[in-house]
Amino acid sequence: MGRRPKKHLGEMQELTPLELSLMKIIWERGSATAAEISEFMAPSNPLADTTIHTILANLRKKRYIEPVPTIERAYRFAPRVPREKIAGCSLRRILADFFEGSPRRMMAHLLQEDIDETELAEIRQMLDDSGKKKEE
């Protein structure tokens, strides 16, 4: 009996930490081959080539990446899903799972973190701008 994949991100399956690591590289570069990913990850988290190929196959099956036309010998993959969409879906899941759906509770938790004055001023400005947009 096989495991059922988690589907929290709408109809999209959740990314594992390793899948997210590879997606970050692909998002940053715009597209990447398995060899480029291996080279990029080697200093901090070296992975076997077979592991990288397996993760890429999983990402392709989950429809997060797609092969792009190239004259290269290796497959080159590009993201099908923008980083912002994954971030938004993940944030909504965290909001629901840990803060009972309350943005106020989540913000209260975040404000307990060490935030410097510059970041705090930027947050205040975003809140002010958000309030102005709602009034229009």
pLDDT digits (tens, 9 = 90+) for 94-135: 999 999 999 889 988 988 888 889 998 998 899 888 877 767
SS3 content of the chain, % helix, strand, coil (to 5): 60, 10, 35
Residue pair 65/78 in contact (Cβ under 8 Å)? The answer is yes
* DSSP type of residue 46: -
- Could you tell me the maximum CA-CA distance found in the chain, to the nearest angstrom? 55
Rounded mean pLDDT of the chain?
A: 86
Q: In this structure, are 113 and 61 located in the same domain?
A: no
Q: In this structure, are 92 and 72 located in the same domain?
A: no
pLDDT digits (tens, 9 = 90+) for 51-105: 999 999 999 999 999 999 888 888 999 999 999 998 888 888 899 999 999 988 9
Q: In this structure, are 128 and 91 located in the same domain?
A: yes
CATH of the domain at 63: 1.10.10.10
Quote the pTM value. 0.72
Please give the Cα distance from 114 to 104 (Å, whole number). 18
Q: In this structure, are 75 and 89 located in the same domain?
A: no
Domain that holds residue 27: 17-81
Please give the Cα distance from 107 to 126 (Å, whole number). 13
